[in-house]
Amino acid sequence: MSSRADLRALPAVDALASEVDAPRAVALAAARAVLAERRSELLGGEGGTADLPARARAAAAAAQRPSLRRVLNATGVIVHTNLGRAPLAAVAREAVAAAAEGYSNLEWDLAAGERGSRHDHVEALLCELTGAEAAMAVNNCAGATLLAAAALAGAGSEVIVSRGQLVEIGGGFRVPDVIAQAGARLVEVGTTNRTRRADYENAIGERTGAILRAHPSNFRQLGFVGEVEVEELCELGVPVIDDVGSGVLADDLAVLADEPPVRRSVAAGAALVCFSGDKLLGGPQAGLLVGTTAAIARARRHPLARALRLDKLGLAALEATLRLYRDPERARREIPVLAMLTAGEEELAARAARLAELVRGTRPAGAAPGTAPEAAVGVVPATAAEAVVEVIAATARVGGGALPLLELPGPVVAIAAGSPDVLAARLRAGEPPVVGRIEGGRLLLDPRTLAPGELEPAGRAVAAALRRA
């Protein structure tokens, strides 16, 4: 146990705070926290010395670091839900910065000099790209589906859904709960694996408000299965809400062939088509509704529309992203999600080799012979003798609940250096944080999900973590 002398020797809060270069309130909070921690250690029998000023400075630095931080995604999961889903294209980032700089015409018609609608900023683009009569944006796809059900069905009406589409997505969001929150009554038809057109026809009645078709984004049914296509549903004379999930506008890409394209549902005659802006579309978090003029008008008038509306920064990023789709080739190059999905073998191999060089601290390609690794890339060679760094074949995933069966083959950098969990934790604690994945007792770093400008900082971070091993 600690002696009273050890406790009495602890510095005063003010004295410890004076050694911290931070705002007074931050320094005092850090000092109190460090002293409380040290008292607990001493009372628990942990003696020895402790560099309390260093601890206090570290605590103050951590307190001033933003909670929402840039993370380098080396997991190989392209639309990583926990890491913010789709990274934005450069033009979208620029649009956000411009909108954030000052005031904007968010709800002001500059030509008429009177109040306007925030929906006008993206409606024309969405109609152009999807063929819809009208469109609007809300804060996410779950909100879009809720708004669609409430606007077209609402209190006292019925919404017909196939039992095979009563899905749950991330966060416990369930289709039956959506229908209930919209104030409508759920009518289940068909079976888990097979639903026929006649099942819908037999369920339609005077109280039917809509048919909801929900794409099972994060799983697939195989074998003895069957469902009614959107074209047939639109022939039944009842408004159809088609939640297509991830939002495929680049429907000419072979890699996206198994995801329902938005244009198909619009062409089929769906009253409202709901999809995400931040998944395969590659924009900011948003829920997009496109469809008939009458259906969109009902959605705009519903009280939920205001509660779910998208803010000016999201609209700025969304508009800039949608503009890229006017030129499909440019969209593939500049929208990060599409670029990652279509990255070629040679490009990925070169990036993996470069990342491995950085991790090892070896001379990069093009550096003059004899150049020291530390001078070339800003690191010193790793000192963990047991570390084995090699490039191996692996597979990446789309993520975000899209294309759950699709595997994207490509090279990764595999690191064997003691416990992979310890190395992963060290990388998460670094600046910038680097997140990889663990397989077969090794930490894997996938260059597919690292932007070209992120290879260098990721490699340096990993090399530094190995030095600390």
Quick check: 378 pLDDT over 50? no
Could you tell me if 101 and 34 lie in one domain? no
Q: What is the pTM of this model?
A: 0.88
Q: What is the CATH number of the domain that holds 462?
A: 3.90.1150.110
Question: What count of Cα atoms within 13 Å lies in the side-chain half-sphere of residue 324?
Answer: 27
Q: Which position has the higher pLDDT, 355 or 156? A: 355
Same domain, 365 and 416: yes
Say yes or no to pLDDT of 364 above 70: no
**pLDDT tier at 277, thresholds 50, 70, 90:** very high
pLDDT grade, residue 371 (50/70/90)? very low
Domain that holds residue 45: 4-64
Q: Are residues 123 and 16 in the same domain?
A: no
**What pLDDT, in 10s, does the model give residues 82-119?**
999 999 999 999 999 999 999 999 999 999 999 999 99
Q: What is the pLDDT confidence band of residue 170, given thresholds at 50, 70 and 90?
A: low
The residue from 315, 334, 353 where one domain ends is 334
Confidence at 362, pLDDT banded by 50, 70, 90: low
Residues 306 and 350 placed together within one structural domain of the fold: no
- 208-242 pLDDT, tens per residue? 999 999 988 767 777 788 899 999 999 999 999 99
Shared domain for 288 and 224, answered yes or no, is yes
Q: What is the CATH number of the domain that holds 165?
A: 3.40.640.10
Among 42-51, 82-91, 434-443, which stretch is predicted with the lowest mean pLDDT?
Answer: 42-51
Whether pLDDT at 161 is above 90: yes
User: Does 142 share its domain with 46?
Assistant: no
Q: How remote is the C-alpha of 172 from its chain's centroid?
A: 17
Burial of 320 (0-12, 13-18, 19+ CB in 10 A): buried
pLDDT for position 236:
96
**Angle, helix 312-324 to helix 90-101, in steps of 10 degrees:** 150
**For strand 408-416 and strand 442-445, is the pairing parallel, antiparallel, or unpaired?**
antiparallel
> In terms of pLDDT, which residue wins out, 411 or 46?
411
| Nearest to 437, CA basis, from 71, 73, 70, 68 | 73
Per the document, the length of the chain is: 469
Instruction: Say yes or no: 357 and 298 in one domain.
Output: no
**Is the domain of 153 the same as that of 295?**
yes
pLDDT, mean over the chain: 90
Residues 280 and 298 in one domain: yes
Same domain, 76 and 147: no
Domain count, the chain: 3
Same-domain status, 266 and 381: no
d(CA 291, CA 274): 9
- Give the pLDDT of residue 469: 64
Q: How far apart are CA 323 and CA 251, in angstroms?
A: 16
354 and 401, same domain (yes or no): yes
